[in-house]
């Protein structure tokens, strides 16, 4: 009799147990889904934070590399320097200039040379207490007295459009070849002698011209300027009465 | 060499659009002060000779003032034509001044083509900027009336 009752009620009990289990599982699943969503949001935020931190570290590594390069260059220069950050560019697109975050308060004066780890960048053309404007050597109004390092031929480097320069007044008899290094001559009394300026990219010798057409690719990458060094030296172009106070 | 310069010549001139809008809504004085001020500001931040852009935008303002007698600045067509024309004149005067006082500008067909494109694009966006500025003016006017 007992076995008969067990045989009849067992399936019912089994059904009830299974139903309870299903409901329990569904209930737990629902809660785990709710938790999962919260956890997913939390993890997503964590991933975003870590990604941001990673970007920050990459930026720090890149800045560190640039500053190390700048420091090495600084050690090769004898005159005292002030490091500055580039904070702006010429808004017109017709002229080539940048703004830096140091001015007369940091000892900057007009016509001081500006360099980066690769070479000459330009010179200061306007200085306010906390900012300064730098005329880049690729501007058409800029002129730097230069030498071809290998042959010591002289020329005046002037800016051209499209981030290139032309070395003017190089005689047709001069020995100039593609790849020759161009350095400052020091004769303009603005840039110290021997600073790297660029490399000869193209030489055109036209028979009816007095001078060779020498195109120079500047050493500095003007599209990626971030930090520069200003060489602290007196403005050679100003008389004592014209000095900036 | 000129091809490398092409993007340089493409210039959507918002200063002229805003000057035209001010001329229509706030009158001559406001527009002239804005044009001169913006020009001076650009001069201060550029390596060009001081006063170049101030002069350019004052000339642009005068052209707008003169052109407003022939074109209706309240209509979309008037805004497009006048702003486009003034941008074109500004670009031509700029090249003339640069060539005369700063450096040699290589005059070429592509240079004038991009000046034309700049004029057309600035003319095209002018009605949108006009409507945005009008909306801003209505909103700020409403707020100031409420505050009063």
Please determine, for the modelled complex, whether the ipTM score is greater than 0.95. no
Q: How many domains does chain A have?
A: 3
| DSSP three-state, residue A87 | strand
Q: Residue A183 maps to which CATH number? A: 2.40.10.350
Closest CA to A166 of A116, A192, A115, A200: A200
pLDDT tens for each residue of B80-110? 999 999 999 998 998 888 888 777 777 777 8
Residues 134-163 of A with CB under 8 A from B: 135-136, 139-141, 160-162
Global pTM?
Answer: 0.73
How many cross-chain Cβ pairs, A to B, lie less than 8 Å apart?
A: 47
Residues A152 and A36 both lie in one domain? no
Min Cα–Cα distance to chain A from B43, Å: 9
Query: What is d(CA A197, CA A192) in angstroms, rounded to the nearest whole number?
Result: 12
Interface touch A88/B45, C-beta < 8 Å:
yes
| Residue A243 within a domain | no
pLDDT tens for each residue of A118-156? 889 999 998 999 999 999 999 888 899 999 988 888 999
| Residue A245 within a domain | no
Interface touch A135/B103, C-beta < 8 Å:
no
Q: Residue A85 maps to which CATH number? A: 2.40.10.340
- In this structure, the strands spanning A97-100 and A113-116 are unpaired
Query: What is d(CA B82, CA B71) in angstroms, rounded to the nearest whole number?
Result: 7
| Residue A230 within a domain | yes
| Residue A240 within a domain | no
Query: Which domain does A26 fall in, by range?
Result: 1-76
- In this structure, the strands spanning A227-231 and A113-116 are antiparallel
Closest residue, chain A, to B103 (C-alpha): A140
């Amino acid at each position: 009799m007992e076995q008969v009752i067990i045989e009849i009620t067992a399936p019912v009990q089994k059904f009830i147990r299974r139903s309870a289990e299903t409901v329990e599982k569904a209930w737990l699943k629902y809660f785990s889904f709710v938790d999962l969503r919260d956890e997913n949001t939390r993890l997503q935020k964590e991933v975003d934070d870590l990604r941001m931190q990673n970007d920050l570290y990459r930026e720090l590594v890149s800045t560190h590399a640039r500053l190390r390069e700048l420091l090495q260059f600084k050690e090769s220069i004898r005159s005292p320097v002030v490091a500055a950050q580039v904070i702006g560019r010429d808004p017109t697109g017709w002229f080539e200039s940048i703004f830096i975050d140091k001015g007369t308060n940091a000892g900057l004066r007009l016509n001081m040379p500006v360099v980066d780890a690769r070479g000459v960048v330009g010179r200061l053309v306007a200085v306010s207490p906390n900012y300064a404007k730098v005329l880049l050597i690729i501007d058409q109004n800029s002129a730097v007295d230069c030498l071809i390092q290998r042959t010591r031929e002289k020329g005046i480097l002037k800016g051209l459009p499209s981030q290139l320069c032309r070395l003017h007044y190089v005689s047709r008899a001069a020995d100039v070849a593609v790849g020759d290094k161009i350095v400052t001559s020091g004769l303009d009394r603005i840039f110290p002698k021997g600073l790297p300026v660029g490399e000869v990219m193209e030489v055109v010798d036209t028979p009816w011209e007095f001078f060779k057409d020498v195109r120079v690719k500047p050493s500095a990458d003007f599209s990626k300027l971030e930090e520069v060094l200003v060489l602290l030296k007196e403005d050679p172009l100003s008389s004592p009465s014209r000095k900036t106070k | 060499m000129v091809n490398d310069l092409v993007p340089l010549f493409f210039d959507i001139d918002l200063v002229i659009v805003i000057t035209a809008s001010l001329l229509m809504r706030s009158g001559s004085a406001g527009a002239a002060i804005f044009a001169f001020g913006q020009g001076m500001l650009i001069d201060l931040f550029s390596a060009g000779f001081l006063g170049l852009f101030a002069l350019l935008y004052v000339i642009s303002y005068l052209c707008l003032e003169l052109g407003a007698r022939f074109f209706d600045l309240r209509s979309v067509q008037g805004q497009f034509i006048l702003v486009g024309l003034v941008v074109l004149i500004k670009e031509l005067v700029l090249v003339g001044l640069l060539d005369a006082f700063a450096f040699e500008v290589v005059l070429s067909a592509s240079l004038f083509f991009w000046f034309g494109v700049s004029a057309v694009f600035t003319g095209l966006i002018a009605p949108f900027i006009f409507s945005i500025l009008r909306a801003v003016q209505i909103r700020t006017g409403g707020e100031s009336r409420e505050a009063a």
